[in-house]
Structure 1
Amino acid sequence: MRPLTEEETKNFFEKLTKYIGDNVKLLLDRSDGLYCFRLHRDRVYYCKEEIMKKAAHFPRKELISFGTCFGKFSKTKKFRLNVTALDFLAPYAKHKIWVKPSAEQQFLYGHHVMKSGLGRITDDTTQYQGVVVYSMSDVPLGFGASAKSTAECRHADPMSIVAFHQADIGEYLRSEANLI
């Protein structure tokens, strides 16, 4: 377990900024204590500093995880967010998409959001912007990237893709072994 290097920090915060903008600061400056991001086995963990200090007493080979896994770095040093970060992304999301009840299950099976399943979309969402996908009852379902801007969505064909799927809460069942 170690702090992120400058390049890793840059890649990691660029990815987070795509979804929550300047609210990244709110993840670190919390009223309930000091929080930090640490790297362990190519995965970035988010935890209280107290927990991080206690986890440092374990040998690296025996430490499986600590805190919440936000994602992992690939071999090409690109960062990929995990669905485990959704609980921290959702409250601070700048751009949101709400799907109709008829389209929730399709999204949870890993499919993209179609225009026919789109309930609402945040104004001023640009193309390829990071979005958090919600149900119509404001339950966060996952996240992805917008395929079209808000203006393009209004005049799009019902079968066109509005948001690309990246992760959803269905992964807790589908990819159970890979989330740790």
Structure 2
Amino acid sequence: MKRLSEERAKILFEKLSKFIGTNVRQLIDRPDGTYCFREHKDRVYYVSERILKLSECFGYKQLVCVGTCFGKFSKTNKLKFHITALYYLAPYAQYKVWVKPSFEQQFLYGNHIPKSGLGRITENAGQYQGVVVYSMSDLPLGFGVLARSTTDCKTADPLTTVCFHQSDIGEYIRAEDTLF
């Protein structure tokens, strides 16, 4: 596993700050030890430094992965978060969207969230802000990007898309062959 290049580290931290803001520091300096991000075959892994030291005895070709896969870099150097990062990012999320119980299944099938499916939304969220999508019972369901700001949502038509779908916990089943 290798360190992220400066360019890729910048892309990763910009994307993280889009979802969790200044809480990135809490993600790295945790009470149970220091964690870091490493790259292996264009995938970004979140791993404890203690586990990372233990994995150094394996060669590049022998190592499948170490830690939790946070995302993958595309050929155009864009980072797409995998759903495995959800449980690490959800507690630190600045902006959240809750979907109605009648729309949870639609979101888990990969559909965008219209205003009619919106249960609640955090205040002062801007347009194109990264959000974590929750069920009304506070279960994290996935990631999204707001299509409209919080103030625009109040006056929007019920069929207007409020949040664009990025990934969800239903991806494990839908993309089982290609995700990992």
TM range (shorter): over 0.9
Distance 1:38 1:149 in 2: 34
Match of 1:121 in 2: 121
1:101 aligned counterpart, secondary structure:
coil
TM-score by length of 2: 0.98
Alignment gaps of 5+ in structure 1:
none
Name the aligned partner's letter for residue 25 of structure 1: R
Identity %, equivalent residues: 62
Matches within 5 A, 1:2-81: 2-81=2-81
Partner deviation per Cα, 1:99-134 (whole Å, 9 max, x = no partner): 000000000000000100000000001100000000
Distance 2:27 2:102 in 1: 33
TM-score by length of 1: 0.98
Match of 1:93 in 2: 93
4+ runs of 1 displaced by more than 6 Å?
A: none
Give the deviation of 1:178 after TM superposition: 3.0
Name the aligned partner's letter for residue 164 of structure 1: F
Distance 1:107 1:175 in 2: 15
Distance 1:77 1:162 in 2: 27
Partner deviation per Cα, 1:32-70 (whole Å, 9 max, x = no partner): 011111000000000111111112211111211110000
Distance 2:150 2:82 in 1: 26
Q: What value does the CA root-mean-square deviation take over the aligned residues? A: 0.8
Match of 1:133 in 2: 133
Distance 1:176 1:63 in 2: 21
Distance 1:126 1:56 in 2: 43
Match of 2:165 in 1: 165
Alignment gaps of 5+ in structure 2:
none
Give the deviation of 1:77 after TM superposition: 1.2
Name the aligned partner's letter for residue 41 of structure 1: K
